[in-house]
Amino acid sequence: MTVPRVSLSQQLLRRRPVAGAPVAHGASDHLKRSIGTFQLTLFGVGATVGTGIFFVLSAAVPEAGPAVLVSFALAAIAAGLSAICYAEMASSVPVSGSTYSYAYTTMGEFVAMGVAACLLLEYGVSISAVAVGWSGYLNKLLDNLFGWQLPQSLTSAPWDATPGIVNLPAVLLIAMCMLLLIRGASESAAVNTVMVLIKLGVLSMFIIIALTAFNADHFHGFWDKGMAGITTAASMIFFSFIGLDAVSTAGDEVKDPQKTMPRAIIAALIVVTSFYILVAFAGLGTQDAAEFGSDKQAEAGLSVILENITGGTWASTLLAAGAVISIFSVTLVVMYGQTRILFAMGRDGLLPSMFAKVNPRSMTPVGNTIIVAVATGILAGFIPLTWLLDAVSIGTLVAFITVSIGVIILRVREPNLERPFKVPGYPVTPVLSVLACIAVLYGLRWQTWLVFGACVGLVLLFYLFWGRHHSALNAGGADGYIPTAVPGDDDVMFVAEPKDHHFVTKHEDEP
């Protein structure tokens, strides 16, 4: 590997040029500017709802008491503001992908690696957290249907409140998703719609049944846990708003983005938040806040509440079945996202090239998928759920803060850049977004910060010792940019193409 002749600071701040990166082209032409407000709202609701609401209450209510309703509102505001900032970033930087790609294009390699660490934490841990939640509902479903459930030792992590050996269903779920992703399966828009309907259906059923057993006495001592409890709960709940940023990535395909984007984000947020708050409100009305944290409800909490109310199992079975089906699809989608982020990093040379290796037989990044599955499988099998929820939120929040700051940086540095969507109320909105995220972050436990610091630190160390020497932006680096392979384009090869040929655009305009 050639020794880079640029200084360290130049390396840390160098940005990926937009040219050479895949710009809008034929592949998604049919999607181009075709999404309206309604569709985009559905899109956002679909991506967001149901990730965490099925199991977040049992973790959050003990922290905040009935005031968990306020926590939901706080988390929703933080998520909404961030999503709007995210939308500007996505529309002004014509690269495909995630926060990582935006950070790389606008704020340089070092920040990009930091963001990547946050995303690895967010996606990796949320796959595990969702899988652990799935395991609880699966067990509940088995119990209701067959009167038999997996033994405690096979459904709990070693460091759970009631320790077991391994959370087997969670590991199996991840293995199933891995096989599907290797085969090249993907969830279509139609399947996604069905999943949304299932999720909203079972949640509506929960709300209606729970409201029949409503007792206002359970809301006594609303503020007892105080502000600290509320923010702690909000930071856990924030996890259940992940996915709202998916709306922002559709920026290029949206009709009249300046109007559509904020409307859709806000509409999706209102729908999702009302659902969450209604679920929390209805749930709180049925039982004492302290009961949410009980052993019995730690897993499959919503199902257990329904069982207590109806005295029978049919409603609880329906809810558990809905959760088992829809959480499966959530795991698949999030795991897919994780592999594609690692893939992008592999192509940029910041991770070993094996992450960017596509298997010619299955036409999917097989090695990458297996690594993700093994890592998340270990997390899901051995780490308790509450820990996981916290770690997901911190990664997401820091990534969102970076994006909001990035919007400000980009406005200052490149004021003339064409932005199909601009944040309304700039500069107040991005600043508010940062503040809201910080407020939610404030509630996290110190252990979570430790995990987060260790994760980001490790990734940045990896970057300093390995990534910056292998980055595709290094002159003569092994992986240069390649010309975009537009689907349908013939690409006849030169007879004598130099082996180390690459197309990294020289960018003299860089500092």
Partner 1 sequence: MTVAVGYLAGKSGKSPLYLAAEAAKTLKTSLTVVTVVPRPWMTPSLGRIDAEYAQYAEQLAATSAKEAQGCIDSIAHGLEVSYHKVAHRSVSGGLLEAVDELKSEVLVLGSAADGKLGQVVVGSTADRLLHSSPVPLTISPRGYRGSKAGGLTRITAGYPGTPETLHVVERVAALAEQLNVPMRVVTFAVRGRTMYPPEVGLRAEDSILEQLATQARETLAQLKADGVIGKDVELQVVTGNGWDEALDDADWQDGDLLAIGTSPVGGIARVFLGSRGSKILRHSPVPVLVLPG
Q: Which residues bind partner 1 (CB under 8 A)?
A: 22, 25, 27-28, 31, 43, 46-47, 90, 96-98, 101, 184, 186-189, 191-192, 243, 245-246, 249-250, 252-253, 333-334, 336-337, 340-341, 343-344, 347, 356-358, 360-361, 363-365, 482, 484-493, 495, 497
**What's the min distance (Å) between Cβ of 199 and partner 1?**
12
What are the CB-based long-range contacts (under 8 Å, 24+) for 352-355? Answer: 352/470, 353/478, 353/479
**254 strand-pairing partners:** 35
**What's the min distance (Å) between Cβ of 490 and partner 1?**
6
Residue 473 is classified by DSSP as T
Comparison of 152 and 353: residue with beta carbon closer to partner 1: 353
Comparison of 40 and 68: residue with beta carbon closer to partner 1: 40
Give the whole-angstrom CA distance, residue 391 versus residue 450. Answer: 10
- Contacts with 50 (C-beta within 8 Å, 6 or more apart), sequence order: 195, 196, 199, 203, 326, 327, 330
For CA atoms 241, 245, 246, 247, the dihedral sign is positive
**What's the min distance (Å) between Cβ of 157 and partner 1?**
26
Q: Which residue has the tokens 């924030």?
A: 238
Q: What is the DSSP string of 298-325?
A: HSSHHHHHHHHHHSSSHHHHHHHHHHHH
Q: Which residue has the tokens 């995303």?
A: 119
**What's the min distance (Å) between Cβ of 43 and partner 1?**
6
Give the whole-angstrom CA distance, residue 363 versus residue 198. Answer: 31
Give the whole-angstrom CA distance, residue 369 versus residue 373. Answer: 6
- 307-346 as b/e, with b when 16 or more CB fall inside 10 Å? bbbeeebebbbbbbbbbbbbbbbbbbbbbbbbbbbbbbbb
**What's the min distance (Å) between Cβ of 193 and partner 1?**
9
Comparison of 112 and 309: residue with beta carbon closer to partner 1: 112
Comparison of 216 and 495: residue with beta carbon closer to partner 1: 495
Give the whole-angstrom CA distance, residue 245 versus residue 47. Answer: 9
Q: Give which of 459, 427, 453, 448 is closest to 238, Cα–Cα.
A: 448
Give the whole-angstrom CA distance, residue 442 versus residue 394. Answer: 10
Comparison of 184 and 226: residue with beta carbon closer to partner 1: 184
- Chain centroid to Cα 320, Å, comes to 23
**480 strand-pairing partners:** none
Query: Tokens for 376?
Result: 């998340």
**167 strand-pairing partners:** 155
What residue type is 54 in one-letter code? F
The 3 state secondary structure assigned to 376-396 is: HHHHHHHCCHHHHHHHHHHHH
Q: Which residue has the tokens 């509506």?
A: 204
Give the whole-angstrom CA distance, residue 56 versus residue 237. Answer: 6
Comparison of 40 and 74: residue with beta carbon closer to partner 1: 40
**What's the min distance (Å) between Cβ of 187 and partner 1?**
5
Comparison of 439 and 504: residue with beta carbon closer to partner 1: 504
**What's the min distance (Å) between Cβ of 58 and partner 1?**
25
Comparison of 133 and 337: residue with beta carbon closer to partner 1: 337
Query: Tokens for 190?
Result: 């139609």
**What's the min distance (Å) between Cβ of 82 and partner 1?**
14
Q: Which segments within 48-135 are labelled E, that is strand?
A: none
**What's the min distance (Å) between Cβ of 341 and partner 1?**
6
**What's the min distance (Å) between Cβ of 60 and partner 1?**
23
The length of the chain, given as a count of residues? 511
H or E stretch covering 91? helix 68-92
Give the whole-angstrom CA distance, residue 448 versus residue 444. Answer: 7
**What's the min distance (Å) between Cβ of 94 and partner 1?**
10
Comparison of 93 and 302: residue with beta carbon closer to partner 1: 93
Comparison of 134 and 336: residue with beta carbon closer to partner 1: 336
**What's the min distance (Å) between Cβ of 306 and partner 1?**
28
Comparison of 9 and 353: residue with beta carbon closer to partner 1: 353
Comparison of 161 and 179: residue with beta carbon closer to partner 1: 179
